[in-house]
Amino acid sequence: MPYSHLNDFPADIRERAAAVRLACFDVDGTLTPGSLVIGEAGEMAKHFHVHDGLGMKLLREAGIEIALVTARRSPIVDARARELGITRVHQGVGDKRECLLSLCAGLSLQPGQSSFMGDDLGDLPALSVAGLAVAPDNAHPWVRERVHWRTRHAGGQGAARELCDLLLAASGRAEAVLARYTGA
């Protein structure tokens, strides 16, 4: 069952989440289930979850910066980012740690004010410096054992939304989001 209340999280995770001002996401295996669909002509397709997209939109509206950081290059990622209003899109990244540190520096943030969600070995360098390192439930075991927190959902199946909800709750903005949708 997904987490539903901020108090469902351990105190150290709540504290780390409350400090986050920049949320970074790997794409393949994190925002997607990790499978690549390649057609005969070389065209590629990716599967994104709408819950993750809304979560990232809500974070942006709450003033938390969003960045996509991926080793692959794909016009599909650019299209999804445009759809969500995400302007910090870094593709073809060989060193995700350096990318995260550069993003933090450009926003005048400390690495402890960032979160990074990733699922495989290439994400470990960024995960090692993020203030809140998160992996989806189906991340590689070597990654899962080296993060601060693991979601209950798999990549591309709502894992990113879990992180977004945690960040909204920890920043004190979840009730305002709920009120907007419930009219309360």
pLDDT averaged over the chain?
93
Give the pLDDT score at 1: 41
Spatial neighbors of 43 by CB under 8 A, at least 6 apart, are none
Joined together, the tokens standing for residue 93 give 């990244």
Give the pLDDT score at 3: 52
Among residues of the chain, what percentage have pLDDT more than 90? 79
* Positive or negative torsion for Cα 99, 131, 50, 65: negative
Tens digits of per-residue pLDDT, 150-182? 999 999 999 999 999 999 999 988 888 888 888
pTM of the model: 0.93
> Residue 82 and residue 80: Cα distance in Å, rounded?
5
The helix/strand/coil state of 10 is coil
| H or E element, residue 60 | helix 50-61
- Class of residue 37 by CB neighbours under 10 A (exposed 0-12, middle 13-18, buried 19+): exposed
Tens digits of per-residue pLDDT, 147-158? 999 999 999 999
The helix/strand/coil state of 156 is coil
Tens digits of per-residue pLDDT, 106-136? 999 999 999 999 999 999 999 999 999 999 9
Q: Are the C-beta atoms of 69 and 89 separated by less than 8 Å?
A: no
Give the pLDDT score at 143: 98
